[in-house]
Amino acid sequence: MRKTKLRRILIKIGQEAGIKELTTLHALRHTFASQLIINSVDLPTVQKLMGYSDIQTTIIYAHLAPDHLADAVDKLGF
């Protein structure tokens, strides 16, 4: 697989940051979406930020926030 200039730059940045898994733009997009979910950003917002037309694509990341149900109930305050 031929590495584009952008990909080579991304790999270099990843290596400098100690992130050896950062080798593709897809990995960067996946990390962005994952971090949004982990930080309690709602799925419709993640969908819009990622440019997904189908919410099902976004739901793939939902497993990263297993505490979201308990957190939702805790917001009721009783």
Residues 71, 37: Cα–Cα separation, whole Å: 13
Tokens at 33, concatenated: 């979406």
pLDDT value for 1: 54
Note down pLDDT in tens along the chain; length 78 residues. 567 888 889 889 989 998 888 888 888 888 899 899 888 899 999 999 999 999 999 988 888 777 777 777 888 888
**What count of other Cβ atoms lies within 10 Å of the Cβ of residue 75?**
7
Which pLDDT value is given to residue 2?
Answer: 67
Distance CA 35, CA 3 (A): 26
Q: What pLDDT shows up at residue 72?
A: 78
Count of domains for the chain: 1
Task: Give the per-residue pLDDT at 46.
Answer: 94
Opening angle at CA 72, ends 57 and 38, nearest 5: 45
Domain, as residue range, for 37 = 5-74
